[in-house]
């Protein structure tokens, strides 16, 4: 069970959440406006509008996240510490963890030529 903080746009503080699996699921159109984050436990699945989520941050450990496009193609799981969302014009969100050198290493989720792509990246957060 992953313990995380969920930050929703417009709310000042994060809400504690627990989940066993985290999935970013797109509709057939692969549009960000229709995408949902699914937080699943052994007994239930909660769906949250992806555009409304600013951040999902693991409190203690890394966690796995998957991305499923509108055709049902699954990418991942990706071992990460944080999701940062809210970039609907180019990249939809970033899945990442801090590496031993203090760099952010992870994946950019974006739409390219109608398809959902998950592209590795590494950057300095400063």
Residue in 87, 108, 106, 90 with CA at minimum distance from that of residue 98: 106
Q: Does residue 38 have a pLDDT over 70?
A: yes
Express each pLDDT in 50-74 by its tens digit: 999 999 999 988 899 999 999 999 9
Q: What was the pLDDT predicted at 91?
A: 63
Instruction: Compute the residue count for the chain.
Output: 126
Residue 88: its pLDDT value, please?
54
Q: Tell me: pLDDT of 89 over 70.
A: no
For 12-41, the three-class secondary structure string (H helix, E strand, C coil) is CCCEEEEECEEEEECCCCCCHHHCEEEEEC
- Find out whether 63 and 22 touch, Cβ atoms under 8 Å: yes
- Copy the structure tokens of residue 126: 């400063």
Of 98, 97, 91, 60, which Cα lies nearest the Cα of 77? 97
With 60 as the cut, is the pLDDT of residue 21 above it? yes
Q: Do the bridges between strand 15-19 and strand 21-25 make them parallel or antiparallel, or are there none, so unpaired? A: unpaired
* Residues 23-47, mean pLDDT to the nearest whole number: 95
Domain-by-domain residue ranges, the chain? 2-123
| Mean pLDDT, range 9-25, rounded to an integer | 94
């Amino acid at each position: 069970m992953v313990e995380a903080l969920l930050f929703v746009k417009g709310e000042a503080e994060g809400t504690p959440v627990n989940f066993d699996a985290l999935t970013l699921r797109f509709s057939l159109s692969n549009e960000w406006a229709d995408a949902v984050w699914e937080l699943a436990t052994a007994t239930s699945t909660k769906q949250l509008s992806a555009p409304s989520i600013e951040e999902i941050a693991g409190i203690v450990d890394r966690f796995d996240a998957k991305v499923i496009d509108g055709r049902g193609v699954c990418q991942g799981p990706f071992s990460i510490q944080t999701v940062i969302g809210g970039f609907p014009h180019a990249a939809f969100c970033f899945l990442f963890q801090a590496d031993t050198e203090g760099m952010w290493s992870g994946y950019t989720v974006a739409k390219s030529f109608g398809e959902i792509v998950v592209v590795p990246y590494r950057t300095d957060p400063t």
